[in-house]
Structure 1
């Protein structure tokens, strides 16, 4: 019996807790009444020091009932940790329609509060695929395993329009019909987006999540719901490049239309948009904007060693790389690069400009001693004067104090 109880617990920050309706699922597992299961759960919870996880419990009810398999499944969703609408539908996907009806009736008898839209549990399998995709926030799961989201969201309906290949107004009309039919909330569609038809390239630029993991599906876990992600310079350049190297300024304006719908598109000034109109989105520019060649963390301000790393790997000067990426930098945190010299980095520069000679952070900055230069020169097989000359090229960019070189004279 203890092994059965372990299936009805969840791990929280403050330890293991019982699922809100553990006794219902336990009653089915042991083929006993819910009343007796509740007594056993209370005894073991006291022995093991288990508290109840937050969630809907049972009200006063006659519970001389041995729950069915589907009823138990609806009360033991370990991922959702609640008896939400999506969790209940997922539990009933592979059940016979009569079993689903029986489960809903049993939940009512047990005093379990059914979520808004619970009528959907009975009717889900009869809905058209288009309606299911809309109510599942554009889920990419197969028709046999798709289930409704806990609530329809702007990002989810945008994803649904992309998956169905329909303009937003048509998806919204269907979403509104479903919401009214089942008593569910539905977001509003800004009038200016009625005819907008999202494509895969829009989703790549603006959305994350919503893709199903086959292993998660086999375990009964739904896909993470789609949500908006921050539009970055990298994503904008990729979006413009996918559109046949279109003007990045025009690409930005198109994506900015979705901001009224909740998309995370930063607002740019007219001057910043004008700079994008003259920007490139070719392959080297897209590579320069990716995180692959950076040494600092993604989402943090660009630092001097980032620029040297990118330039060295592209085989271009620091100044040339800066010209490529500068128009896109307004979409992220302000860079911390005071100067951009017209210097083509050599492999030795990665060692010279990093504290541990590995081309990674922390970077060299401030006062450089003669001992430092002598050590680096020995490590890279070059003369000390050669090292001083290379450091001189990056003096303003890295804020280097090369005063000790003069003392050598």
Structure 2
């Protein structure tokens, strides 16, 4: 807008007034249209549009209601005046060092209740910072220096004395009891990961349930169960199971890398004892044989009864399903021949038959061999045709 100075007419002195020309009117019109354009208003010939533009677009000086994202100059840090505090000023103040004091606001401000909070040092010489809510004492405030020296942080730390927990301790780090100290617990549950106890003893008077593995250091017993009379049993870190007498001597062990059973005391087996490594055939060492080795080197009673024992004392079973039959009888011939039955029938014809006359002067021979018997023949010129005959026959069972 152009700056023009207008003067009024003075009739006493004859001073004419400043003329109102068309260009002057155009300057005022253009300036007012610019105000409407900034406010987004299109001129419509009414006389209230400029007032509307000033009211809706421009904020009043008294209690303006700003919209959008208004900006303001950022005051210098430490400014304690009525200047507008921008977000930059607040962020810098928040990220700066902690306040050296705790501000307390009593319940007398706008929108607050009527309660009053009082904070002050104790007067009993303990120098505790006490708090009171109205007339109710809240006790001493736990400041950071006190909690750091008294309580265990959630992020870990060192604990002295006894820790009593009625719930569950869940952690992703380590729990150290320290040298010579003991960790007592009703249940130790490691659903995932590893429960590792190094350089200390795990002592339990109840049950220890482990779903995975328990590992110890390279030179200690992993799991040991003790009794009141001093005897102990242990699962050891080499994979073996051992029993120790009250003097600490290992008197029994089983397993380990070689799977041996070593004992210096009598051992009673009430069920089955398995030895998976069979000794070599003919072994004569102190190694315990398994049933496979016994079956390959000896006949069991069952196998002996099956292979050799018979209900007839004159029949002897042989290996490979053969047998020997030996018996004697009094021969009575009929026409110089006699049919003889075996005490036990063979499964097929015999391999050999041997007969002998007890009288010594009877000539005989045999024929018609079968699984059930044979025929004895006595020649007509024999000194005798009757007498006691002994027979030995060999054939298949």
TM-score bracket for this pair, using the shorter chain length: under 0.3
TM normalised by structure 1 equals 0.20
Where relative contact order (Cα < 8 A, 6+ residues apart) is larger, the structure is: 1
**Structure with the largest fraction of helix:** 1
TM normalised by structure 2 equals 0.20
**Structure with the largest fraction of strand:** 2
